[in-house]
Amino acid sequence: MQKEMEPVGALSKVDGVGELSDQAKAWSEACRHLSPMVGSDAFERWFKAAQLGRAVDGVAVVEVPNEIHQVWIETNYIDELRAALGEVFEDLVQVRIEVVEAGEARGEGADAEDAGEKSPDWFPETLPDEVPDRFDKRLKRAGLNPSFTFDGFVVGANSQFAHAACEAVADGRGGAYNPLFIYGGPGLGKTHLMQAVGQEWLKRSVPAKVVYFTCERFTNEFIEAIRKGDLARFRNRYRSAELMLIDDVQFLSGKDRSQEEFFHTFNTLMDGRCQLILTSDRPASEIKQLEPRLVSRFECGLTVELQPPAFETRLAILHKKVEEWGVRVEEGIVRMLAERLKTNVRRLEGGLMRVGTYASLAGERVTQEKVEHLLRDLFREENSRQVTIDSIQRLVAEHFDIRLADMTSRRRPASIAGPRQVAMYLSRTLTKSSLIEIGEAFGGRDHGTVIHAVRKVAGLMETDGELRDRVERIQSDLRR
Ligand SMILES: Nc1ncnc2c1ncn2[C@@H]1O[C@H](COP(=O)(O)OP(=O)(O)OP(=O)(O)O)[C@@H](O)[C@H]1O
């Protein structure tokens, strides 16, 4: 349960500000302290567009409009900002700066609905006037990001096969690859590649109807359509296209009604000879609580994997971005980023963007020590292997030589139920997930089953040395 921070009595000093929310009052009060600390010029430049987001559990989140503000404030004014907010919240422990783009919801709940949203308005009825070029208009209408092109994608051994499959679909040789199912970890270019196919279709065939959407959006719009009693319109929108690009299908996990709707959408599109490209963070057969009939539909075309790129590919990606963005970063620093940021191209890009921005604003040579400081959170994320229920289930299944699917199945022989209980125990002790979340992740079991498993494994570990050794070995593998 999160606890909202109570501003100290100082807030009353800004009572005169009328209708403002508590958040706005607290920020206004913090600014009163901050402005003299940083000087009015710096305040105008860096804090005018900022505002206070969440303030819970000792953490105050300051929202800024872009990464330039974020990096600059973190690097130059974090102490002053902490001191100013400390005047307002006496239980302040940490200050975080987050980028919130214009138009995004602010403060509490800003992350829920919009998270992961990548496309602009979906099939707007009228196109906005500010889009000057016709091709740009068509990209926008399809929901495509103009920078996700084949030219902008660096191919390495990690992506060769996926790239070749996408090129085949792009130039019409991919008839048998339907659906094309691309899977791989976060930030490895799945969306980029699938949208590159979309751009090619739009370029070549003039009236091609290309549509991109995320499964999160599909689910949200489906719920909304049910609420408004407007399913016919929803179906009309989702069931007519020549090329349908469907991102993040793992989002359908456990959402039974959306899966049912999606199943019919999928069939209608396939019957209508629509080419489909799907992406997921894992193979279809490993998406939990996904109906078997959907798994088999997803697997009936071609499945390709995107893996993390090797050092040379990471370097080539960085060189390409340096050129594209026109940033000036020394080769030694570029190599340092390629060496240290290995698992996620989005993070690699983020690192380069921050260093490049800093270099141009500070007008000074960026040293390796500076980069250590600027990117400390990215380096930390890179090094800390996050223990998730998912990784626990995988590793326990491997250690006990059972199928991953048995973690969520109803099967009860001791050779399966035992390891499953070990996995529940580890999920409870190594992650922050609640009993209910753990039960859900293990095939929709109730929280009593999880409590029983945790107690049982903890008790057995007291008396059974062999089991204890096994569990400890799994624990240390998880942390590695
Ligand atoms: N091989 C590559 N060459 C150039 N840019 C790349 C490459 N791979 C990824 N990128 C860039 O990295 C960023 C993240 O890629 P993308 O959004 O396609 O990842 P994703 O796999 O869809 O991630 P997620 O699963 O988190 O949605 C994008 O800006 C993309 O342009």
**Which residue among 153, 161, 192 has the greatest number of ligand 1 atoms within 8 angstroms of its CB, and so is best to mutate?**
192
Domain boundary among 80, 99, 118: 99
Domain boundary among 263, 283, 306: 306
Q: What is the pLDDT of residue 224?
A: 93
Q: Is the pLDDT of residue 288 over 50?
A: yes
Same domain, 289 and 140: yes
Instruction: Say how far apart CA 457 and CA 453 lie, in whole Å.
Output: 6
Instruction: Say how far apart CA 176 and CA 36 lie, in whole Å.
Output: 66
Domain boundary among 356, 383, 410: 383
Same domain, 290 and 326: no
Cβ of 43 closer than 6 Å to ligand 1, yes or no, is no
**Which residue among 346, 347, 352, 353 has the greatest number of ligand 1 atoms within 8 angstroms of its CB, and so is best to mutate?**
346
Flag whether 415 is in a domain.
yes
Q: Flag whether 449 is marked binding.
A: no
From ligand 1's centre to the CA of 295, what distance in Å?
A: 24
Flag whether 74 is in a domain.
yes
Considering the chain, what is the average pLDDT of its residues? 85
317: domain CATH number is 1.10.8.60
Q: Is the pLDDT of residue 24 over 80?
A: yes
Strand, coil or helix: 63: strand
Flag whether 112 is in a domain.
no
Cβ of 351 closer than 6 Å to ligand 1, yes or no, is no
List strand residue ranges (DSSP E) for 147-238, in order: 180-184, 210-214
Q: Is the pLDDT of residue 413 over 80?
A: yes
CA atoms within 13 A on the CB side of 419: 24
Same domain, 284 and 355: no
Flag whether 40 is in a domain.
yes
Q: Is the pLDDT of residue 75 over 80?
A: no
32: domain CATH number is 3.30.300.180
Domain span holding position 439: 389-479
pTM above 0.90, yes or no: no
From ligand 1's centre to the CA of 257, what distance in Å?
A: 30
Q: What is the pLDDT of residue 207?
A: 62
**Which residue among 163, 188, 344, 347 has the greatest number of ligand 1 atoms within 8 angstroms of its CB, and so is best to mutate?**
188
Flag whether 421 is in a domain.
yes
Same domain, 199 and 293: yes
Same domain, 422 and 343: no
The stretch 168-185 carries a mean pLDDT of: 88
From ligand 1's centre to the CA of 193, what distance in Å?
A: 8
Flag whether 453 is in a domain.
yes
List strand residue ranges (DSSP E) for 177-321, in order: 180-184, 210-214, 243-247, 275-280, 302-306
Same domain, 332 and 438: no
Same domain, 211 and 298: yes
The stretch 44-53 carries a mean pLDDT of: 87
Q: How confident is the model at residue 48 (pLDDT cuts 50, 70, 90)?
A: confident
End-to-end CA separation in angstroms for the chain: 30
Q: How confident is the model at residue 437 (pLDDT cuts 50, 70, 90)?
A: confident
Whether residue 263 contacts residue 449, with contact meaning beta carbons closer than 8 Å, is answered with no
211: domain CATH number is 3.40.50.300
420: domain CATH number is 1.10.1750.10
Cβ of 329 closer than 6 Å to ligand 1, yes or no, is no
DSSP for residue 309: P
Instruction: Say how far apart CA 219 and CA 257 lie, in whole Å.
Output: 9
Same domain, 301 and 339: no
Same domain, 324 and 344: yes
Same domain, 379 and 429: no
Instruction: Say how far apart CA 229 and CA 237 lie, in whole Å.
Output: 15
Same domain, 301 and 315: no
Flag whether 85 is in a domain.
yes
Q: In terms of DSSP H, where are the helices of 131-189?
A: 134-142, 160-170
Q: What is the pLDDT of residue 73?
A: 85
Q: Which of 96-110, 201-215, 308-322, 369-383 has the lowest mean pLDDT?
A: 96-110
Residue type (1 letter), 224: E
Same domain, 449 and 319: no
Q: How many domains does the chain have?
A: 4
Element (H, E) at 174: none
Flag whether 1 is in a domain.
no
Asked casually if ipTM beats, i.e. exceeds, 0.85, the reply is yes
Contacts of 350 (CB under 8 A, 6+ apart): 67, 378
